[in-house]
Amino acid sequence: MLTSLKDYYNFIADNGSLRRYLFDSNVRDFMGVNRVNEDIKLTLENEDSPDFWSLNNGVTILTTSASIIGKSIRLDNIQIVNGLQTTESIFRYFQGGGDDRSGRSVLVKIIVSTEEYVRDAIIRATNNQTVVELSALHATDKIQRDIEEVLERAGYHYERRTNYYKNFGHPPSSIVAPLYLASGYVSLILKSPHMARSLKSRFMRSDESYNTVFSQNTAIGVWPKIAAILKFTDSSLETLRPLGTSANERFLKNWRHIISFIFTSKILRSFDFSVKDLLALDTENLQRSELKEVWDFIVSNYPLSSANPHKKKSFYIEASRLASEHFSIPGIDRVERLTRLGGTQANSRAIVSPPKQKSHRELSAFALKLNESLPPQPWKPGVHREMCKLMQCTRHEYYEAVEFLISEGIRHHQKDGVVYDGDGNVIAFDLTRVDPKSLMLVDPVLDDNSKSASIT
């Protein structure tokens, strides 16, 4: 149907404000000044141009019921699912004092449906254009709405509709884009910082890969944790970057995921931390000093002046392994088990799930056997490799057994060359790696005469 521009303006306006709730199901917000919107603006301002509807694709309105009353149409549960750029341009034209003496019209298509799945299909079909970001085509999914709501409660604005919060003037530091959040999930939950760095919106083309990341089975509370860790990492990297290094998205993209992944693993004391562990993490009290430790360690091994290693998967695996040894973080076998997103359901489960755990009896028997071969603490860096070779086991099996020995009081927790008892008291430290006064790591000089010190 055709309706006059002025009548359409009166329909979308309420006391001088745009009725934005009409666009809740639209996949994007106003895109600002671009070629298309500038053309619409010029057409509205030039009353000598052909009638507006003949130059414009018009508007699609989705409603649950429609009835004709005289020369009007009554609509219930209205959503404008396509034509937001046209709508906002018309609103801004009349709001700025524009007039329409020629009585021009806009094309309005009205679709009546009460079926939720049909409404979702219509929304996707009417917005499936090349100019729409792939992530936006999922903007109306329930999981995306749930994420927006839970992030809002945590103080973040989830840009499931492109430019929505940007147009409201919210600062970039509080805005979280779907691809940004998805890459954090791939890094922190799926344990693949390499894939996270290279993640592109086209992964959303596949329902299987999309559902692997944005799963309804994932605890909704984990999304604010991911957002908080990434935003904290970004703001910290802005202050840590060396002079002369430009602070741009490329710099953050190169370092964000490996730093945040090791930082989080260090705090949670395992690379194989779970969603439950992440939910329990107090992201309000993350310490820049701890993140700086990770940053200093990484750049000491991979100087910024060296060739860019970020495109190589081996960089992320090697950096994680070095960090595992340096910070005594177990669970390194979990890193990079993910090889791709999606695939068959069975394959996806195999990719995402941790390895099968030993029974308590099997674990205790293996751990006690390992204990017979383990040297006295404090252990030197690389002892896990010797033990894995000797016991013919994986790193995961080794660290699982060590954790068992610690829980049973047979061995003690060790970090950075310092050994602690169950109450957190220092009971021993490695003189070749640790300053006796500060108990902080020093540059190690290992030789055949390396010594340890015990505290009694």
Write out the DSSP string of 368-436: HHHHHHSPSSSPPTTHHHHHHHHHT--HHHHHHHHHHHHHTTSS-EEETTEEE-TTS-EEEEETTTB-T
Cβ atoms of 227 and 155 within 8 Å: the answer is no
Q: What does the domain layout of the chain look like in residue ranges?
A: 2-132, 144-352, 360-454
453 or 366: whose pLDDT is higher?
A: 366
- Determine the Cα–Cα distance for residues 187 and 175; give it in Å rounded to an integer: 19
Structure confidence by residue, pLDDT tens digits, 237-291? 988 877 655 557 788 888 999 999 999 999 999 999 999 999 999 999 999 999 9
How far apart are the C-alpha atoms of 409 and 22, rounded to whole Å?
62
For residues 41-53, give the mean pLDDT: 76
Residue 344: predicted pLDDT? 34
In tens, the pLDDT along 384-400 reads 889 999 999 888 888 88
- Cα 218 from Cα 213, distance rounded (Å): 9
pLDDT band at 346 (very low <50, low <70, confident <90, very high): very low
Mean pLDDT of the chain: 80
- pLDDT value, residue 305: 61
Among 48, 58, 63, which Cα is nearest to 83's? 58
Residue 378: is the preceding peptide bond cis (ω within 30°)?
yes
| Dist CA 161 CA 158 (whole Å) | 8
Average pLDDT over residues 134-155: 80
Please report which residue ranges of 174-248 form alpha helices under DSSP H: 178-188, 193-198, 207-213, 222-240
Cα–Cα distances (Å) from 417 to 121, 310, 398, 432, in that order, read: 59, 30, 18, 9
Quote the CA–CA distance of 5 and 205 in Å, as a whole number. Answer: 37
pTM score of the predicted model: 0.52
Mean pLDDT over residues 293-317, rounded?
Answer: 82
d(CA 10, CA 160): 28
Residue 447 clears pLDDT 50, i.e. is over it? no
Mean pLDDT of 205-229: 89
Q: What angle do CA 383, 402, 267 make, to 5 degrees?
A: 90
In the predicted model, what is the mean pLDDT of residues 132-148? 71
Looking at the domain that runs over 360-454, which CATH code has it been given? 1.10.10
Count of CB atoms situated within 10 Å of the CB of 333: 21
Using CA atoms, how far apart are residues 81 and 25, in angstroms rounded to an integer? 6
